[in-house]
Amino acid sequence: MKAQSQHEMKKSLAWWDLMWFGMGAVIGAGIFVLIGLETKKHVDPAVVLSYVVSGVSAMLSVFCYTEFAVEIPAAGGLFAYLRVELGDFVAFIVESNILLECVIGGAAVARSWTSYFATLCNHHPNDFRIHVSSFSDDYNQLDPIAIVVIIVICTLAVASTKGSSRFNYIASIFHVAIIIFIVVAGLTKANPKNFTPFAPYGPRGIFVASTILFFIPIGLVGSMTITTLAYCILVVTLCLMQPYQQIDEDSPFLVAFEAGGWGWAKYIVAVGAIKGMTTVLMVSAVGQARYLTHIARTHMISPWFAKVHERSGTPMNATATMITATTIIAFFTSSGILSNLLSISILVIFMLVAVGLIIRHYYISGETTPSNRNKLIIYLVLILGSSMATAIYWGSSDGWINLVVSNAIWFLSTLALWLGVPLAKKPRVWGESLVPWLPSLSIAINLFLLGFIDKASFERFGIWTKILLIYYILLEITALYNSMILSTLSISSHGFSLGLPKRPHTDGDSIRGSSTDDHSLN
């Protein structure tokens, strides 16, 4: 599989670099991009609870993810892990959603970069955008600055991964100082009366915002805890500085300091925000291109995307493709649409990770009995169905009896799986000891949060899913046709194999790459 890239990617990052890359990825975007919008629109001061809900959901998924990372030490992340447990089709869906997440996440951050830059220059956030009245409202603010920012930052990231890492951890130290300044200075302007009323939109508003505030969630347990705590402290500070009705949707901290008589402080905050979003884009550029490279090595997309540049040791084609897609989306699309699509994508991925972990523990092909396999399927369907029913009942306000019934079904299904289906596989190195309860709870929370996303966002996500299904069907038809042609050639040449590669498949815990022996053509 690595041969598809022609050259090796340079291994230039140590654990120290990865730690700071993680901080750069999770601290920056959510703090400055969505706090103002969700606080004013959906939650008000109770937005701190929305961050807690998002953090809990992310933490459960981190526990599930960690077992895969330890037990299956293969390149490709969730794509590789779920390809082992759930097969090519599910892995393809996950892969496509992760790529969607990368593109729209980068686009949303780039547009926010423009908003903060405009504010830093004493302009309205939309002053540096081009308004096209003939376009619909969500697509009529064209953002050329976002394109320039994406191209420049991603080009620097491609030129040197190690250099990007050094810039990132130096900038992250500066970013931590900015966060401390916001909290200390902001609390000097605190007014406890601004916390009243605390949750005028009720519990629904808290959960609606929780689905959107998913710029937090990628990280390991320690960094996740620190990140969630930092977000909560910052949002409490913001809500104490201003009444929620006056919080600005585009640049909340800048406007709050200016309203409090500290106009000079907004420049410090703006610089910190721009720095934070710059490192998010840089970290994203380094990671997403390598992810696309691994997928291309499996032949699910063209191996052209897997080629690595000889001198820089970076995947140039994959990087250029992701930059192009991100700039197109960032140029047209509003941040509101992007944040909703991003949340759907992340929550679907989190849910599939939890399903994959349950299957990993309770099913082994050829060893699990048909009876236990059937029980596993039934209990999983009940867990998924009851979780979706809970979200539907909560959203439609059909009464508490339906909620009690759906939650009881979830609990009894998980209990039946725990007691009625024997474990088929025990982790070799490290495993989550709370299976099936923890992944089942992760499924329930993620599906519950999906129920609060608006209909229009699901329609857009549905269009994306249809495109994926059409592509996958054509991919499988092409693979089948090529297999038939190769088999015919092999037979006609009296067993002599041409030694051509085919798309790899999974077997147990191994991920086999392109094979060149005669048996690969059977």
All domains in the chain, ordered by first residue: 16-334 (1.20.1740.10), 363-453 (no CATH)
Instruction: Round to the nearest angstrom and report the end-to-end CA distance of the chain.
Output: 20
Give the per-residue pLDDT at 399: 66
The answer on pLDDT for 317 being more than 80 is yes
DSSP 183-238: HHHHHTT--GGGG-SS-TTHHHHHHHHHHH-TTS--S-HHHHHHHHHHHHHHHHHH
Say which range, 280-289, 356-365, 500-509, has the weakest mean pLDDT: 500-509
Residue 456, SS3?
helix
216 exposed, middle or buried (CB, 10 Å; 0-12, 13-18, 19+)? buried
> Residue 146: which of 105, 169, 114 has the closest Cα?
114
pLDDT tens, residue by residue, 55-97: 788 888 888 887 887 777 666 677 778 887 888 888 888 888 8
Beta-carbon neighbour count of residue 302 at 10 Å?
A: 11
> What's the rounded Cα separation, in Å, for the pair 388 and 395?
11
The pLDDT confidence band at residue 517, using thresholds 50, 70 and 90, is: very low
Residues contacting residue 397 through CB under 8 Å, at least 6 positions apart: none
| Mean per-residue pLDDT, 95-111 | 84
Looking only at Cα atoms, what is the longest distance across the chain? 86
Please say whether the beta carbons of 293 and 306 come within 8 A: yes
> What's the rounded Cα separation, in Å, for the pair 61 and 95?
17
Residues contacting residue 168 through CB under 8 Å, at least 6 positions apart: 17, 20, 21, 24, 279, 282, 283
Whole-angstrom CA distances from 139 to 74, 130, 253, 329, 396 are 40, 11, 26, 10, 30
pLDDT tens, residue by residue, 282-315: 777 777 777 788 888 887 888 888 888 777 667 8
> Residue 285: which of 172, 159, 114 has the closest Cα?
159
pLDDT tens, residue by residue, 245-293: 788 776 788 788 888 888 888 788 888 778 778 877 877 777 777 778 8
Say which range, 109-123, 191-205, 459-473, has the weakest mean pLDDT: 191-205
Strand boundaries in 66-194, DSSP class E = 130-131, 141-142
**Which residue has tokens 């004013």?**
40
pLDDT tens, residue by residue, 367-412: 899 999 999 999 999 999 999 999 888 877 656 788 899 999 999 9
Characterize 377-403 residue by residue with b for buried, 16 or more Cβ atoms within 10 angstroms of its Cβ, and e for exposed.
Answer: eebbebbbebbbbbbebbeeeeeeebe
Give the H/E segment covering residue 80: helix 77-120
Residue 368, SS3?
coil
> Which of 218 and 181 is assigned the larger pLDDT?
181
Full-model pTM: 0.76
Q: What is the mean pLDDT of the chain?
A: 77
Please say whether the beta carbons of 487 and 112 come within 8 A: no
Q: Is 499 left (phi over 0), alpha (psi -120 to 50) or beta?
A: left
The pLDDT confidence band at residue 7, using thresholds 50, 70 and 90, is: low
Give the per-residue pLDDT at 235: 82
Please say whether the beta carbons of 175 and 276 come within 8 A: yes
